[in-house]
Amino acid sequence: MLAVEQLALLAMHPPGPRGHNPTREGCRRDGPLMSGNAGIVSMPVERSRPAIGSHVAVGGGLVRVGLREAEEVEAEVIQIFASNPRAWRPSRVDPRLDVLFRERCAELSVPVFVHASHLINLGSPSAQTRESSITLLAHTLRRAADLGARGVVVHAGTSVSRGRREVALGALHDLVGRLLDEVREQVQLLIEPTAGGGEALASTVDSTIEYLAALDDERVGVCLDTCHLHAAGEPMTTATGVQHTVGRVAASIGAERVGLIHVNDSRDASGSRRDRHESLGNGQIGVEAFAGLFLSPELASVPMLVETPSHREDVAFLKSQRSLVSRVTITPTSQ
C-alpha cells in the first residue's frame, strides 16, 4: 500500500488561485486531497516521463504565434491545426514557413501533432462527405509530414443515423486502407474516440476496440481523451479507474498503438456524452484521477496534451503530478 503521506503528495499542487471540484469535498488544485486511498493500487510502478504540452493556436503564424505560445506555456510537445478546422478548403501554405517551423521545433526538441478538421466524418452515410473527408485527411497527412509532425489526430466519426453502425464500420477498412496506401507519409494516423453523442462510432473502450478491429490496420493508432472517456461512461474519476481504462485499451490493441493522450477535465457528469472541456481539477473528473496517467506503465512514453483555456496552468499541474509520481515509492504496511 502507498503510505498516507504519499497519497497526499500525489494530490498536492503548488499554491495558486485555482478552483475546486464541486463534486468531491476537499478535491482542490491548490492544496492536498485527503480522500482516503486516492484511488492508487498497490503495484510495481514503472517510472514514466512522458512529454507534456498543449494545443496551441497558430493563427497569425506557425512560428511567430504558435511556437511563441508553446514557449510561454513551457510545452514539451504541441498540437496544432494545420488548416481551418471548420472548413473543407485547406488554408494557403508558405513552404518557407513550414521549413522554419520544422527547424525551430527540432531545435527546441518539441514533437508536433496535427489535429485534423472537425468536419471529417469517415462514417458518414453520404458518399460525397466520405470522399471529401478522405481528400482532406490525405491533405492533412501530407501537411503534417511537411511540418515534421509525428501524427495526425482525427475524430472516429459518426454513423449519423441509427441502424447504420455496422454499415459504417464495414466501410472503414477499405476507406482508410486506401488512404494510407496512397499517402505513404511517415506520419501516424491516430483515431480519437469521441464523447459518445450523435451515433458515435467509437467512444467507450469496447466501441473503440470494435472500431479498430473493423479498420484492421496496424498502421493506425489511437489518441485517448480523458474528457471523452469520462463522458462516454468509463471510470475516470480515480487514478485506479484511469489505470484500468488505459490498461483495457492497451491490452486489446497493443500499448504501442496508443500514440497520444488528450488530458482534459469535464464540465459534465460521467456518461453525459457531452464534450465540454474544463481546467484540470476543476471539473467532474477531478484532481485525483490524473495521477493515474503517470502510474500507467503503458503510457510511459506517450505524449500528453491539454486542450483547455487554462493550458499554461494545466501544463504546470501535469508536470507537478509527473514529478510527484516519480518520487513515490511502494512500501508494504504491516497487517
Annotated binding site for Zn(2+): 115, 155, 192, 225, 228, 262, 275, 277, 307
Phi and psi dihedrals of 45, rounded to 5?
-110, 125
Q: What is the rounded radius of gyration, in angstroms, for the C-alpha atoms of the chain?
A: 20
C-alpha pair distances (Å), 280 with each of 16, 30, 83, 175, 330 = 13, 12, 27, 36, 26
DSSP annotation of 24: S
Amino acid at residue number 268? D
Structural contact between residues 288 and 9, judged by C-beta atoms closer than 8 angstroms: no
Q: Which residues are annotated as a binding site?
A: 115, 155, 192, 225, 228, 262, 275, 277, 307
For residues 290, 283, 72 and 320, what is the CA-based torsion angle, rounded to 10 degrees? Answer: -30
167 CB-contact burial (10 Å; exposed 0-12 / middle 13-18 / buried 19+): exposed
Q: Which residues contact 140 (CB under 8 A, 6 or more apart)?
A: 82, 83, 114, 116, 117, 152, 154
Give CB contacts under 8 A, 24+ apart, made by 89-97. Answer: 90/136, 90/139, 90/143, 93/143, 93/146, 95/146, 97/61, 97/62, 97/63
128 CB-contact burial (10 Å; exposed 0-12 / middle 13-18 / buried 19+): exposed
Residue whose C-alpha is closest to residue 88's, from 117, 62, 108: 117
Residue where the block lists cell 464540465 = 267
Residues pairing with 158 in the sheet: 200
Coil vs helix vs strand at 221: strand
DSSP annotation of 200: B
